[in-house]
Structure 1
Amino acid sequence: MDDLFPPFAPDANDRPRRFRPVPFRMIAPNMITLLALCLGLTAIRLAFEGRYEPAVIAIIVAAGLDGIDGRVARLLKGTSRFGAELDSLADFVNFGCAPALILYSFTLHNLKSVGWIVALVFAIAMCLRLARFNAMLDDPNRPEWKKDYFVGMPAPAGALTGMLPLYLHFLGLPFDHWGTPVILAYVLVIALLVVSTVPTFSGKTWGKRVPRDLVVPIFLVVVVGFGLVISFPFEAITVVSLSYLAAIPFGAVQYRKRLKQEAANDATDETAERPAAPGV
């Protein structure tokens, strides 16, 4: 029996594992992301209650927080894989599901199954765009200058421009029986831009260094812009949405120019490195 149950001494090193406390700088960006997620979910509730104006404002504020959380993480050196995954999931809800359900509740439901299919296409396009974005982050061969551009329309921009019909409705533009098919076609175009490979300006590398002579003008522009957004919110967001859509072709042209320049530089370097042929 002793062979079956041999005595053993407890391991002196077997102590309860103590988890290290997490620095607040790692938590702060994720808290901002969760606040944005709460706004996106609240926007869905407001839309089903027929309160479209606060629902749209919630999505706009969520987009603002989405632009802040990554910069806060980099500033505090609190980036993590967990934060990146949480940000992607929150973006899918805030800029894919919420706008699609808001637009369906607003007018697409009048087209029944066709309207619901377009809402599904919009939400799934956001999901595919975010998955592609995460996959491209792991590409070690991507040139540094390409960080100035997104591949396709980014999720926050797609959500904000996709809700342009709502802004126009708030400004008094009537949507009669012809309005719903036009809105359906517009939402479908935005969804295609989101999953397309059309390059758009990212702006992620802007603002790292500001010339001294531009500091005061930037302050004034920010104050004026804030005043316009507070006083005329839907007018301002309408102008911003239309301006962004108009700037897409210019971004694509600029991207192609830089791509051709890179190809020319690579060809020049390859020619310079090629050994000269021996003389006859």
Structure 2
Amino acid sequence: MNKRREVRGLTLRTLVPNAITAAAMCLGLTAIRAAILQDWDAAVLLVFAAGVLDGLDGRTARFLNAQSKFGAELDSLADSLSFGVAPALIIYLWSLQFLDRLGWFAALAVAVACALRLARFNARIDLDEQPHKSAGFLTGVPAPVGAGVAFLPMYLWLETGNPALREPLFVGIWLLVIAFLMISNVATFSWTSLRPRRNIRLELLLIGALLVAALILEPWIALSIVSAGYLATVPYSILRYRKFRRQRAANKEASSAPERPA
């Protein structure tokens, strides 16, 4: 008796977040095209738009209960392209090509570091050495944030036109630092796990609204401030995580200590 084999495919509900991910990939590819045409404003903004879609696809999948292994793999591939390959090529065409081989080396560092970070996340290796997400920390700088921060010299150049900000040696060193932060075990804040106090939530809403307005009216200044502000939180997050580990070790030691007889 032949049994019918059940073939499982992607449902229409599952396709919605995957379509958003594919759209983010298209934006990353279009950003490379804009850089080839030396349309630097469009190139940077397209990567930023890809980051916005990257934040939406996962939330959409959870909202629709449409998470899938296919979607997770597609998301990693899209992130590697939009936040690794695209920024590397854009910054190379903008500045690093004038440094010849060393400039290409710096561009490769960002692209490869992004791919390694995503592979580490998918494989979930070195879990014992990585900060616990449940405690409000991530391991290293996330790929979309790393791409945004890598553009910091470009933001300032687009705003001021200062040729020193386009100096290939400076830009190359900057990219190497960002590549290191992306693949490091440095503890960084996971913004999705932060829970602000009730008495400041209206103030945070106001700041968020003003930030959106600033991104529309003065995008390069706003992105520069956001990037610099994020980098300023890294030392603080390292100290917070060290404190968390000490407290966890103390609690574990106290729980494992034998009770004294009464």
Paired with 1:253 and 1:62, the residues of 2 have a C-alpha distance of 31
- Residues 131, 187 of structure 2: 8 Å contact kept: no
Q: Return the match for 2:22 from 23, 27, 34.
A: 34
Q: Return the match for 1:153 from 135, 141, 153.
A: 141
Structure 2 residue 243 is matched with structure 1 residue 257: yes
Paired with 1:220 and 1:139, the residues of 2 have a C-alpha distance of 37
Q: Which structure has the larger Rg?
A: 1
For the structure 1 residues 19 and 57, does the alpha-carbon distance in structure 2 shift closer, same or farther, using more than 3 Å as the test? Answer: same
- Residues 92, 104 of structure 2: 8 Å contact kept: yes
For the structure 1 residues 74 and 214, does the alpha-carbon distance in structure 2 shift closer, same or farther, using more than 3 Å as the test? Answer: farther
Q: After TM superposition, give the deviation of residue 69 of structure 1 in Å.
A: 1.3
Structure 2 residue 203 is matched with structure 1 residue 221: no
Paired with 2:260 and 2:75, the residues of 1 have a C-alpha distance of 53
| Equivalent residues, number | 262
Q: After TM superposition, give the deviation of residue 147 of structure 1 in Å.
A: 5.2
For the structure 1 residues 141 and 150, does the alpha-carbon distance in structure 2 shift closer, same or farther, using more than 3 Å as the test? Answer: closer
Code of the aligned partner of 2:190: S
Structure 2 residue 79 is matched with structure 1 residue 125: no
CA RMSD after TM alignment: 2.8
Q: Return the match for 2:61 from 73, 78, 83.
A: 73
Larger helix fraction of residues = 2
Structure 1 residues 148-199: Cα deviation after superposition (integer angstroms, max 9, x where no partner): 2111111111100001111011012412498221111111111111111111
For the structure 1 residues 239 and 177, does the alpha-carbon distance in structure 2 shift closer, same or farther, using more than 3 Å as the test? Answer: closer
Paired with 1:138 and 1:19, the residues of 2 have a C-alpha distance of 36
- Residues 147, 204 of structure 1: 8 Å contact kept: no
Structure 1 residues 257-280: Cα deviation after superposition (integer angstroms, max 9, x where no partner): 001100000000000xx3668xxx
Paired with 1:100 and 1:53, the residues of 2 have a C-alpha distance of 16
Structure 1 residues 239-273: Cα deviation after superposition (integer angstroms, max 9, x where no partner): 000001111000111011001100000000000xx
- Residues 89, 107 of structure 2: 8 Å contact kept: yes
For residue 226 of structure 2, give the secondary structure of its aligned residue in structure 1: helix
Aligned to 2:223: 237
Structure 2 residue 234 is matched with structure 1 residue 248: yes
Q: Return the match for 2:151 from 160, 163, 166.
A: 163
For residue 50 of structure 1, give the secondary structure of its aligned residue in structure 2: coil
Structure 2 residue 182 is matched with structure 1 residue 194: yes
Paired with 1:215 and 1:243, the residues of 2 have a C-alpha distance of 19
Aligned to 1:180: 168
Moved over 6 A (4+): 140-143
Paired with 2:8 and 2:133, the residues of 1 have a C-alpha distance of 38
Normalising by structure 1, we get a TM-score of: 0.84
- Residues 117, 143 of structure 2: 8 Å contact kept: yes
Paired with 2:151 and 2:85, the residues of 1 have a C-alpha distance of 13
Structure 1 residues 2-58: Cα deviation after superposition (integer angstroms, max 9, x where no partner): xxxxxxxxx5x466x575674433221111111110000110111011111101000
For residue 127 of structure 1, give the secondary structure of its aligned residue in structure 2: helix
Structure 1 residues 87-130: Cα deviation after superposition (integer angstroms, max 9, x where no partner): 11111001100000001000100011110111111111111111
Paired with 2:116 and 2:161, the residues of 1 have a C-alpha distance of 33
Aligned to 2:48: 60
- Residues 26, 78 of structure 1: 8 Å contact kept: yes
Q: Which runs of 5+ in 2 are unaligned?
A: none
Q: Return the match for 1:86 from 43, 51, 74.
A: 74
For the structure 1 residues 144 and 195, does the alpha-carbon distance in structure 2 shift closer, same or farther, using more than 3 Å as the test? Answer: closer
For the structure 1 residues 140 and 109, does the alpha-carbon distance in structure 2 shift closer, same or farther, using more than 3 Å as the test? Answer: closer
- Residues 149, 201 of structure 1: 8 Å contact kept: yes
Paired with 2:178 and 2:128, the residues of 1 have a C-alpha distance of 30
